[in-house]
Amino acid sequence: MKNSTETADCRVIFQPVGKRVVVKAGTTLLEAGRVAGLMLSANCGGVGVCGRCRVTVVSGETSAPSENELAYFDSTDHGLGDRLACETRVASSVVVEVPQGSLGEGQRLQVTGSDTSSFAGDPMIATHQLVLVPPGLEDSRSDYGRIVDALKEQGASIDWTMHPETGAQLSHLARANGWKLTAYSRGNELIGFSSPNRTVVGLAVDVGCTKIAAYLVDLQTGEQLAASGSPNPQLPYGEDLITRLVFASKAPTQAELMAKLLRDTIGELASSLASTAGVNLHEIADICIVGNTAMMHLLLKMPVGQLLYAPFVSSIDRDIDVRATELSLPSAPGAQVHVLPAIGGFVGADHVAFILSHGIDRSSKVTVGIDIGTNTEIVVHDPRNGAFIATSVPSGPAFEGGHMSDGMRAASGAIEKVFHVDGKLMVQTIDGLAPVGICGSGIIDLLAELWRLNYINERGHLNRSSKYVRAGKNGLEFLLVPAELSGSGRDIILTQHDITEIQLAKAAVYAGIATLLEIAGTAVADVQEMVVAGAFGSFLDLSSAVAIGLLPRLPNATYAQIGNAAGAGAKLALISRTEREQARLIAKLVTRVELKQHESFNRLLARATRLPAHLVKAVL
């Protein structure tokens, strides 16, 4: 390491994105990336064990390779300058190459779900078109008094209230618009004003672990005016929610940072949506947010320590209303943020929104609903016996490409599909680029094909005598794409360890569904609908998912992939007070099941790691 003091300034340039930042010597490349606003992956939160923050130091002086790096890379990698960003400290100005597979940004962001435009809304917000009498020597009523009188003339003779910030907006806009205004009210509170003849809009947001989806909706018609998504800005602090909860629990400043990252990103999404739709930020009169339990705690800066230990108790699971200004979100001055209620534990407001949007609570069909991610939520509703139960299983980051040797998120160059033609494996990548890694849907396809083509047995063990199976530095591995055909210049492989990770993840989901059905007293043959929500679920090949035993084979059910159902539920609760009330009812009606307390879950979990020829006979 170069002889340098801890206080020297070092310029770090991240290529090919071109982000630059000046940091003190001794800063890790991961930290420099965070400061530069670079969405570097960091599954393990920066403790040097996941390998997702892999970068190449092109020039400049850095710390010597750590023990973790020596264990992770071989000597050839070191010769090429490959490093773990979380373990590498800068000692001079450096240029760093960041491969696509190490970036959280650029990932495919699923925002579409059911449309609300045909939905007859009854929003919380009323709109009033007002023409005021200007003040004069004979008329010195306050601006507020003029508004109240104008509303009284329209028949709205109630005891109005108004926050001082709303009053400040009133005095300014009334004069700027010649005493003609659009007023917004919620109950008896005047919450904001705009130019005459403007509409009123609301913002619906789904905060996921890896991405945030936001929608701008006309509150009067229910029409979606714009939709957009952004990677969750907390990704550089850990891929899974537990790592982020641990980070936030360590110091108030760290909890503050986690909240600020989410709030800033929601604010940026709101600004970009408003600009796309041609509305002003102060015309956003209502906001509805859903998300998993961890994200909602971090957003609202609620204590998270108790979420880290059994029995995983949340601070609050009822719905919450808070002024938008308290969360620094751009909106009408008196706008509120409504956070949907949670069912309990890690079965959060996003799952309530999912149930709401697909009408699982009001369906006459026996339904299994599932949202697969790093945490997978499952609900079973059997209207015949009234069973309505839900659970959450920690399925790990394998389905999002995490903890895999060549896993990556669903971004350009990721292998998203694997299939075979005449026994020969073929791959399809996002944007048709040369492959640089495998994302979740590709991993499920690959495992299914390896199983169908007998490259693995029912225990998932690679057949060492097969073509393309070879001994790697960490055991057996399957060569999917040779270096000369990949976009990274390296072989793309699936190791025996990777296969075990997928088996564990898929077993947790499968055993979770089977256990819930058992508790509900519902036979597999009685299930009429299987609903798969979420980004991963949207791109998943259902036949591959059933082939490896991620999803059960339900002989009499239809399978549906419904996209971002949580976002769709947030939109419904935004535009309709009836749906908002229904969300409260769902949270009360659904009973949360703690799977670990059920012996059958533990029994099924061990057996469900196997591949389905066995499962179909022995488990279901």
Kindly list the residues in this chain that would bind ligand FES in the complex (CB under 6 A): 42-44, 46, 48-53, 84, 86
The CA distance from 306 to 245, in Å, is: 10
Query: How far apart are CB 84 and ligand FES at their closest, in Å?
Result: 5
Q: Which tokens belong to 229?
A: 């998504």
Which parts of 63-124 fold into alpha helices (H)? 67-72, 75-79
Query: How far apart are CB 254 and ligand FES at their closest, in Å?
Result: 16
DSSP string, 441-468: HHHHHHHHHHHHTTSB-TT--B-TTSTT
Nearer of residues 267 and 397 to ligand FES, judged by Cβ? 397
Residue type, 533: A
Nearer of residues 50 and 109 to ligand FES, judged by Cβ? 50
β-sheet with 189-194: strand ranges across: 125-131, 180-186, 189-194, 161-162
Nearer of residues 193 and 237 to ligand FES, judged by Cβ? 237
Q: Residue 135: is the preceding peptide bond cis (ω within 30°)? A: no
Bridge partners of 95, per DSSP, are 13, 59
Query: How far apart are CB 54 and ligand FES at their closest, in Å?
Result: 8
Q: What's the residue count for the chain?
A: 620
Nearer of residues 73 and 601 to ligand FES, judged by Cβ? 73
Query: How far apart are CB 46 and ligand FES at their closest, in Å?
Result: 5
Nearer of residues 46 and 113 to ligand FES, judged by Cβ? 46
Nearer of residues 43 and 185 to ligand FES, judged by Cβ? 43
Measured between its terminal Cα atoms, the distance across the chain in Å is: 59
Query: How far apart are CB 18 and ligand FES at their closest, in Å?
Result: 22
In the block, tokens 């022995």 appear at 618
SS3 content of the chain, % helix, strand, coil (to 5): 35, 25, 35
Nearer of residues 39 and 353 to ligand FES, judged by Cβ? 39
Helix (H, G, I), strand (E, B) or coil at 54: strand
Q: C-alpha angle with apex 417: 413 to 422, nearest 5 degrees?
A: 125
Query: How far apart are CB 257 and ligand FES at their closest, in Å?
Result: 17
Query: How far apart are CB 41 and ligand FES at their closest, in Å?
Result: 7
Nearer of residues 31 and 319 to ligand FES, judged by Cβ? 31
The CA distance from 86 to 88, in Å, is: 6
Query: How far apart are CB 181 and ligand FES at their closest, in Å?
Result: 52
464-476: buried (b, 16+ CB within 10 Å) or exposed (e) per residue?
eeeeebeebeeeb
Query: How far apart are CB 34 and ligand FES at their closest, in Å?
Result: 11
Query: How far apart are CB 52 and ligand FES at their closest, in Å?
Result: 5
Q: Residue 555: is the preceding peptide bond cis (ω within 30°)? A: no
The CA distance from 58 to 592, in Å, is: 51
Nearer of residues 231 and 534 to ligand FES, judged by Cβ? 231
Nearer of residues 72 and 510 to ligand FES, judged by Cβ? 72
- For 530, counting Cβ atoms within 10 Å of its Cβ (0-12 exposed, 13-18 middle, 19+ buried), the class is buried
Q: Which tokens belong to 560?
A: 């549906």
Q: What is the DSSP letter of 179?
A: T
Q: Which tokens belong to 332?
A: 């009408």
